A and B are shown apart, each in its own frame.
Chain A
Amino acid sequence: MDVTWLLFLELLVLGIVAGGVGSLTGIGGGLIITPVLTLLFGVPIHQAIGTSLCCVIATSSGAAASYIEHRLSNIRLGMTLELATTVGAVTGSLVAGLLSREALAVLFAMLLAYAGASMVRRSFKGHVAEPEGEGSYTIKRLRLGLAGSGAAGVISGLLGVGGGVIKVPLMYLAMGVPFKVATATSNFMIGVTAAASAFIYYSRGDVWALITAPAAVGVFVGANLGTHVMRRAPSRWLAMLFSFIVFYFAAMMIWRSLHGGFAR
């Protein structure tokens, strides 16, 4: 792969799109970056995941650093859950080094399918408007939360995603945390989790700086733009479109791994 300005530009645009979508919907980022790098750019999946993890950190730093998000997030809860998540992330990252490209691709396709399905369900249920969760609340089912966070950490370290897809529902639905607090706390957490994984990928040489840098810069820009754009609730059609894209990626990755498309 030659280093050209065109390559950098494409990676930058990829980053901006991923950062923007990620900050607006809370999902995206890692889910988009890894398949695109693998399928379109021909980057081996381990290195694609390494880049994706760095981009997740960029998302977390870009959007979550805003003062308002910082106030909303429950850092005590986040830290507690992170004990489990980071251990899971280290485990997942180490296991990823042992898996073949095809195996990792199939696992990733399964994650995409799950994300796509939950998105379809979300678009049918419609956007639930809820009262401002500024009041006090009690944390329930901490042990379940820790277990779920550990699992989310393993997935994050294995597949390079932020884990927001799991963490937000976990906090919001199972632990009694108001939706906005759950989202803000998740944004804070995913950066920490991704960092735990990223260093292990880096130690394996799976973080290609010259691919990662333009993508991460793009994500930083996109995430910051996303928070300044008017926050309209994503329309049902947008969510449906997004899930179709995600399902397509999933199918492509399975097809590729079956047909040996990952050997360069």
Chain B
Amino acid sequence: MGSLSGDKGEKAIALVLRYGALVSTLIMALGIGLALLRGSAGSLAAYHRLRPTLLLSQLMRFDAAAVTEVGVLLLLLTPIVRIVAAVVTFAIERDTRYVLISLGVLAVILLSIGFAVR
């Protein structure tokens, strides 16, 4: 039990993960910047419960709260990318057992997301 697969695969995964987190951080920073520029960002407690249409229209207007929200959501999604990457790597290695285990973890997280989308 140790590293997942060949060096190239691992390096690629590590890079993807690092840049994923970086992107979400940049978008969050952008949202904060917008809030500062506009002088106000509406209610602090406002959130969008993943209603795509409303969120999209507010993003078009560069609404500070919406942009920040998207950044936070991307942050929440980065661990999922990690799991998917593991599934793919295990699949390439034909390690059925751990493909199933990883899919199991993914299923629990999707269940959790299910709460958020309702």
Contact = CB atoms under 8 A, between A and B. Distances in A.
B59 interface: no
Which secondary structure dominates where chain B touches chain A?
helix
Given A79-B102, A203-B49, A208-B45, A191 B111 contact: no
Contact of A205 (B40, B45, B65, B104): B45
B116 A188 contact: no
A67 to B, nearest CB: 5
Which secondary structure dominates where chain A touches chain B?
helix
Interface in A26-67: 47, 54, 57-58, 60-62, 65-67
Contacts of A196: 108-109, 112
Interface stretch (A1-9, A115-123, A251-259): A1-9
B68 to A, nearest CB: 4
Question: How extensive is the interface on chain A, given as a class?
Answer: 35 or more
Given A61-B21, A213-B71, A90 B86 contact: no
Interface of A: 1, 3, 5, 8, 47, 54, 57-58, 60-62, 65-67, 70-71, 74-77, 79-80, 82-83, 86-87, 89-90, 93, 136, 139, 188, 191-192, 194-200, 202-203, 205, 207-214, 216-217, 220
26 contacts: A3-B40, A5-B36, A8-B36, A47-B45, A58-B25, A65-B14, A65-B21, A67-B11, A71-B3, A79-B102, A87-B108, A90-B112, A191-B79, A192-B79, A192-B105, A196-B112, A199-B76, A199-B109, A202-B47, A205-B49, A208-B47, A209-B71, A210-B31, A210-B65, A213-B28, A216-B28
Interface of B: 1-4, 10-11, 13-14, 17-18, 20-22, 25, 28-29, 31-32, 35-36, 40-41, 44-45, 47, 49, 64-65, 68-69, 71-73, 75-80, 82-83, 86, 98, 101-102, 104-105, 108-109, 111-113, 115-118
